[in-house]
Chain A
Amino acid sequence: MNFIQERLLGGKNGMIGIAILAALIFIILPATLDLFRLNLVGKYLTYAFAAVSLVLLWGYGGILSLGQGVFFGLGGYAMAMFLKLEASDPESTKIQSTPGIPDFMDWNQLTELPWFWEPFSSFGFTTLAVILVPGIFAFIIGYSMFKRRVGGVYFAIITQIIALILTVLIVGQQGYTGGINGITDLKTLNGWDIRDDSSKYILYFVNAILLFGVIFLSRYVLTSKFGRLLLAMKDKEDRVRFSGYDVSNFKIFVFVLSAMIAAIGGAMFTLQVGFMSPSFVGIVPSIEMVIFAAVGGRMSLIGVVYGTLLVNFGKTMFSETFPEFWLFLMGGLFIAVVMYFPNGLAGLWDKHGYKLTNCIKNLQCVNVAKAFIDSKRKTKVDVAND
């Protein structure tokens, strides 16, 4: 019990944080939002996986990856390939010249399924691939870079170039990837219709549970000796190295782990949104993920979830009513967070949150609030009398 409390939940304060977040995600949001909005929240929460992965990698590891979209995308594409194969059974694709293969392949004169698509007709393989493909890819990148001590800004820019390469490749090889339209019109998962209202609820909760699982896992990693080494490495890499640790191995590990976490988010994204396209692989989504983490607080596993929700809600709300202002606001938000709140929402909470908790504890604020309400009421009455 103690182990769970200390290592997974993050002590007493951490438990309160997790409980509040769990209440919000599992009870409050599903109870108050209609399905349409809840589905949106579900989509946002898939980005939260990527944000959590950045807490490990960037917040604790000090390695900024501008290519998390790559792993998010790979996970998403793996899942989309499975769903697309299921949606392309010979019966529903009989108008094609080659029935039984995905429609976009048929349009590109492919007459049989490419070899690397074959294994994705198995759900077991796909589930593994969602995690392993991005993991292996991250290992290759991480191994070749960290062993040569590429870090900091260079790493960021190289990951960005990789994101660009992958996008151009996916768009260019449309016979194999669906091109710029992506892999669309996904219908069922092992016969279960993912577009139904009930499925949407189920997927929302599955997604939320996975997210909490990932948060617990990350917390476990961070509270271990490894986590402490990671922090030490971020601040004084050379000293850790001179103490006899192989720094690059730690970096590779955390990079691979963060890639896998982002990939789970991608797979859940595909399931909830119903398609996958190169626009989630590229540079812009990758940077946006960094922004979610920065706004939420790059050192806080819980904070980044709020950060992701807040930024995305802001985006949807503002683009619905004032599309022109959205970019100004978003840009301003980045600058403000970086300049004034480097620890994001979580930092704000740490700084000022205790006042609120104290206030609740002492019940002082109840009196304060009462006084405030009374004074308002009074002025209202005064106005009415005038």
Chain B
Amino acid sequence: MGEYTTQELISIFAMQGFAGISLFSVLLLMALGLAIIFGQMGVINMAHGEFMAVGAYTTYLVSVLSEQYFPSFVPYYFIFAILLSFFIAGALGYLAEFALIRHLYKRPLDTLLATWGLSLIMQQAFRSIFGAREVSPTLPEWLLGSYQPTETIDIPLNGLFVLGLTLVVTIGVFILMYRSSWGLRVRATVQNRVMSGAVGINTKKIDRLTFALGCGIAGIAGAAFTTIASTGPTTGSLYIVDTFMVVVFGGAGSLLGTIVSAFSIAQGQSILEFFISGSMAKVITLLSIVIFLMMRPEGLFASKVRK
């Protein structure tokens, strides 16, 4: 390493740290919605990735429309697109819960199959509507390029943006779940459905809104990902395993666990990737998680919910 100056090494170290944090925010944003749906409600939503794709396609659509009709709106459309993604994915989630999920609460493994079917239908719908080609929205100028605190450090702006968004969404979810009366009802329903019903909580409505919220957050994640990657009909299926892994590794039912899990997987993987070639880094990360889960099936943070 003699050929590098200390400053260069520090810069690389800083940027590598940021690469890990950036991956962390991506994983966390993906997993938050599922942590609510799977962790809190126990629903295995295999279509979670497709709800993310809904968000991504919404963003693409808003980008195309604003370019065509309101060119002056282009610098700001992204914020609007994120909100819209949340509502559209949430609304679709609401519908899916109503038509599908609510009939299957007692059969968790069957929700897996049904939502897999749903994901196939959604993939084909994307293909029929948007075509088979991958698309990406035109990003506003302020999302492109990098921030340079010193001469040798480049921090990607899109990474910073996703990080910020993740923070906002995470804090929002925490406030909603642990500081609002609605969150109290959700948690009560999760812990004891019958009792919650008895004290006057409309558990069916709670279920539907919780599911919709989870899907909405997936939509936000999808919108945010358009800044790093492209969107195709099968994009969602790329993310689904990673997403489940984060939630299970963290311990289903524990939001804090999800955060810690996303952080450790991200740092582990990005450090490994720095030293080993890409494919093997992935294999080692996955394998460590599997072995860890075999040792400690309840994940990092065991949930205190009685089954």
Which one, A160, A333, A335, contacts B241 given CB within 8 A?
A160
Question: Which residues of A, 140-198, contact B by the 8 Å Cβ criterion?
Answer: 144-145, 148-150, 152-154, 156-158, 160-162, 164-165, 168-169, 171-172
A161 lies within 8 A of B290 (CB): yes
**Chain A residue at smallest Cβ distance from B47:** A331
Task: Report the count of interface residues on A (CB-CB < 8 A).
Answer: 42
Q: How far is the CB of B52 from chain A (nearest CB, A)?
A: 17
Whether the pair B289, A161 counts as a contact (CB closer than 8 A) is yes
Residue B113 interfacial (CB < 8 Å): yes
Q: Is the CB of B114 within 8 A of A339?
A: yes
Using known A-B contacts A145-B294, A153-B44, A172-B279, determine if residue A164 contacts B113 with beta carbons closer than 8 Å. Answer: no
CB neighbours (8 Å) of A339 from chain B are 100, 103-104, 114
The closest CB in chain B to the CB of A163 belongs to: B241
Contact partner, A145, options B241, B283, B297, Cβ 8 Å: B297
Q: Cβ of A168 and Cβ of B297 under 8 Å apart?
A: no
- Which chain B residues border A157 with CB–CB below 8 Å? 244-245, 248
Inter-chain residue pair count (beta carbon < 8 A): 112
Q: Which of A162, A172, A284, A334 has the most CB of B within 10 A?
A: A334
Contact mask B86-119 → A, CB, 8 Å, 1/0?
0000000000000010011001111011101111
Using known A-B contacts A145-B297, A171-B279, determine if residue A153 contacts B128 with beta carbons closer than 8 Å: no
Inter-chain CA distance A333–B116, complex, in Å, is: 11
Quick one: closest A residue to B128, CB to CB?
A: A324
Query: Which residues, 161 to 209 on B, are CB-close (under 8 Å) to A?
Result: none
User: CA–CA, A107 to B35, complex, Å?
Assistant: 45
Given A158-B290, A328-B124, is A164 in contact with B117 using a C-beta cutoff of 8 Å? no
Q: Given A160-B244, A164-B286, A339-B104, are A334 and B109 also a contact pair (CB < 8 Å)?
A: no
Q: How far is the CB of B127 from chain A (nearest CB, A)?
A: 8
Are B286 and A338 in contact (CB-based, < 8 A)?
Answer: no
Q: How large is the interface on B (under 10, 10 to 19, 20 to 34, 35 or more residues)?
A: 35 or more
- Given A150-B293, A156-B109, A338-B104, also A331-B121 (CB < 8 A): yes
Q: Does B79 contact A (CB under 8 A)?
A: no
CB–CB B297/A334 < 8 A: no
Residues of A within 8 A of B280 (CB): 172
Is B287 engaged at the interface, CB distance under 8 Å to the other chain?
A: yes
Residues of A within 8 A of B122 (CB): 331
Query: Is A281 part of the binding interface, using a Cβ–Cβ cutoff of 8 Å?
Result: no
Is the CB of A294 closer than 8 A to any CB of chain B? yes
Decide if B104 touches A162 in the complex (CB within 8 Å). Answer: no
Q: Are A152 and B244 in contact (CB under 8 A)?
A: no
Cβ of B120 < 8 Å from any Cβ of A? yes
Q: Is the CB of B286 within 8 A of A165?
A: yes
Pairs A-B, 6 closest by C-beta atoms: A334-B117, A172-B279, A331-B120, A331-B121, A327-B124, A150-B297
Q: Contact residues of A with B, CB < 8 Å?
A: 58, 64, 144-145, 148-150, 152-154, 156-158, 160-162, 164-165, 168-169, 171-172, 283-284, 287, 290-291, 294, 324, 326-328, 330-335, 337-339, 342
A-B contact pairs, 14 of them (CB 8 A): A148-B297, A153-B112, A158-B293, A158-B294, A164-B241, A291-B113, A327-B120, A327-B123, A335-B121, A337-B113, A338-B104, A339-B103, A342-B107, A342-B110
